[in-house]
Amino acid sequence: MNVHDSMVVRYSADLENETFAMYLKPDTEEGVKEVNFEGVLAHWFEYVASWNVLYDIEELDVKTFTSYFKKVLLEGKSDGWPLFFETLEDLEEQLVNKGYKTYYISGCCGITGFVIAEQVSVKV
């Protein structure tokens, strides 16, 4: 996904409709890109500021995802977040079986985190 050096203008979650949108202002283009995640199970971010600049949004395989975000996932486990699971392997299996994909959102400055969703699309 071509979002490198895009400024995050805003983002919003619609929990009822299981959607999450990020609005990005590209460094080299006019206008705003809209990144839409659908069938959202959960999202998590840290280092959010008013000057967030993205490095990339990439789909990770679930093993890489659970390895990378192990601490966050285990901290949420007792609250049933992102869903109820016994072990990380159990979580991986559930995500795959339910058709979820894991998207890593990395920042050059500011925001970093993930979205677990069924699909993503970009509208220019």
Residue type, 113: G
For residue 82, whether the previous peptide bond is cis, meaning omega lies within 30 degrees of 0, is yes
The H or E element that residue 97 is part of is helix 88-97
What number of other Cβ atoms are within 10 A of residue 28's Cβ? Answer: 8
Domain ranges of the chain: 7-123
- pLDDT at position 1 is 74
Q: Taking the chain (124 residues) in consecutive chunks of 10 residues, what is each chunk's mean pLDDT?
A: 88 98 89 95 94 94 98 97 97 98 94 98 91
